[in-house]
Amino acid sequence: MNASRLKTLFTGLCLVLGLVFVLAGCKKETPPPQEPSATSTEEQAAKQKEFLSDPDVVTCKLEKTTISKLDFPKNQLPSFVLRMEREDREKIKQGQITLANRPFKILLGERPESEFFLFDVERGFGPYWWGSWSLHSYHKIDDEFFEFMLIEGDTKIAARPYKGQLGTIKVSKGGRNLEKVEFNGSLHQRGSIGVPIGTIKEHWTSPVAECEIPVGDYTPYLMTVTYDNLSIEISNNYHTNAKGQSSGKATVYGMQVRKDKPYVLDFSNEPMVVFDQPPLSKTTFSRGEEIRFAAVLIDPNLDIMIRGLDDTSVQVEKEASNGSKYTRAKSLDPNVVITRADGKSVVEGVMPFG
């Protein structure tokens, strides 16, 4: 697969009406919706008993405090704390725990699945990757994964090294003539469980060719795959799928990582375009009505969304909403031709990602 092939997938799409169109995506700061995880009281009690039986488990007490009293560096406050401030939610909990033989600080809001922050005191930062904000995720410290659990009426946090099976996930050339092949970001499982891909850094993860993670069934949270100068951004598809389903559709956890069988991501499935807007239920339009077309480029088998395609060898200047200038890699936005039923072209233009 190369940039030109993906770019031309959209050319020649035949639609009856339309003047406004965009390739669906979302901002990097907005995580996709999570499926709820339901467990009984008995299951929770059994899980907690098993968790605490580990000889390497450590615990810390959570002290109630307020955002205004936090002793974290201002430039290191997690995004959920800033969100709490906007929502006038001041109450928070914090604690200190020793992991990998050094101190860490923990912040916890009211929602453990989305308001958790682990701060490395010695190194002076809290790692950020999609899923790092969930207490239920596999958190990587150095070369080891750690699991966390709330205990004693949510007044304490317990942590232990992950001792389950590990498997390998890798990105492959897929038979293409490539020199550079790597990826980074994160995956997630059912129940707000994320896992980082790549080497842990302060603001994101550094790319690797392959990565060991806990075995399980995953879908991309947000990942970037690099094929030479082509940067491909992917995530779980929370828009319309190949069957035309949107709201209420089940998440496909198609990346199956097993102990003895590496999962290989090579983009071997034929991609397809589905339209998120207008909805299938809307079949009539008024003369002169402006219609918004939003398309999604997906892998129909994994139900993952290709959120962006960039040529990293070309830098272009952009203008931010505040008027400031910045440069970024050139986005390979596809050209779309909209025609009438008789084949006559109505409009042609670029359908940008995002």
pLDDT, residue 58, reads: 97
| Number of neighbours of residue 40 by Cβ within 10 angstroms | 8
Is the N-terminal amide bond of 278 cis, ω within 30° of 0? yes
Please give the tally of structural domains in the chain: 2
H runs (alpha helix) in the chain? 3-7, 41-52, 79-86
DSSP 43: H
Q: Is residue 113 part of a domain?
A: yes
Residue-range definition of the domain harbouring residue 203: 3-32+165-350
- 314 with 220, same domain? yes
* Alpha-carbon gap, residue 15 to 9, rounded angstroms: 15
Where would I find the H helices in 181-315? none
Judge if 191 and 335 occupy the same domain: yes
Q: Rounded to an integer, what distance in angstroms lies between the CA atom of residue 308 and that of residue 292?
A: 20
Please indicate, yes or no, whether residues 127 and 184 belong to a single structural domain of this protein: no
Q: Per the domain annotation, does 130 fall within a domain?
A: yes
Looking at residue 21, its amino acid is: F
Q: Residues 6 or more apart from 1 whose CB is under 8 A from it?
A: 174, 176, 227, 267
Task: Tell me: do 60 and 188 sit in the same domain.
Answer: no
Q: Do 198 and 315 lie in a common domain?
A: yes
Phi and psi, residue 303, nearest 5°: 50, 50
In this structure, the answer to whether residues 140 and 235 fall within a common structural domain is no
Collapsed DSSP state (helix, strand, coil) of residue 76: helix
185 and 265 in a single domain? The answer is yes
Residue 303 region by backbone torsions, left for phi larger than 0, else alpha for psi between -120 and 50, else beta: left
- Give a yes or no: residue 48 inside a domain: no
Same domain flag for 193 and 268: yes
Max Cα-Cα span within the chain: 73
Residue at which a domain ends, from 139, 161, 183: 161
pLDDT at 203: 83
Q: Is residue 40 part of a domain?
A: no
| Whether residue 301 sits in one domain with residue 228 | yes
Closest CA to 166 of 264, 254, 262, 259: 259
Neighbours of 189 (CB within 10 A): 24
Where a domain ends, among 161, 188, 203? 161
44 is a domain residue: no
Q: Residue 280 domain-assigned? A: yes
Whole-angstrom CA distances from 87 to 82, 90, 91, 251 are 9, 9, 11, 30
Gap between the Cα atoms of 13 and 201, Å rounded: 42
Task: Report the alpha-carbon distance of residue 135 to residue 129 in Å, rounded.
Answer: 13
What does the pLDDT profile of the chain (354 residues) look like in tens digits?
444 433 333 333 333 233 344 455 433 445 555 555 545 788 888 999 999 999 999 999 999 999 989 888 777 889 999 999 899 999 999 999 999 999 999 999 999 999 999 999 999 989 999 999 999 999 999 999 999 999 998 999 999 999 999 999 999 999 999 999 999 999 999 989 999 999 998 889 999 999 999 999 999 999 999 999 999 999 999 988 898 888 788 999 999 999 999 999 999 999 998 888 887 778 888 888 888 888 889 999 999 999 999 999 999 998 888 889 999 999 999 888 888 889 899 888 888 886
Residue 45 in any domain: the answer is no
List, in order, residues 6 or more apart from 93 with CB less than 8 Å away: 62, 63, 64, 65, 107, 108, 109
Q: Is position 39 within any domain?
A: no
Same-domain pairing of 189 and 148: no
Query: Rounded to the nearest 5 degrees, what angle is found at the Cα of 125, between the Cα atoms of 120 and 129?
Result: 100
Claim to verify: residue 113 and residue 128 sit in the same structural domain? yes
Q: Are 258 and 225 in contact (CB under 8 A)?
A: no
- Residue 257 backbone dihedrals phi, psi, to 5 degrees: -95, 120
Pair 191, 249 in one domain: yes
Q: Of 161, 188, 220, which one is at a domain's C-terminal end?
A: 161
User: CB–CB of 155/167 below 8 Å?
Assistant: no
Going by the DSSP 8-state scheme, the letter that residue 31 receives in this structure is P
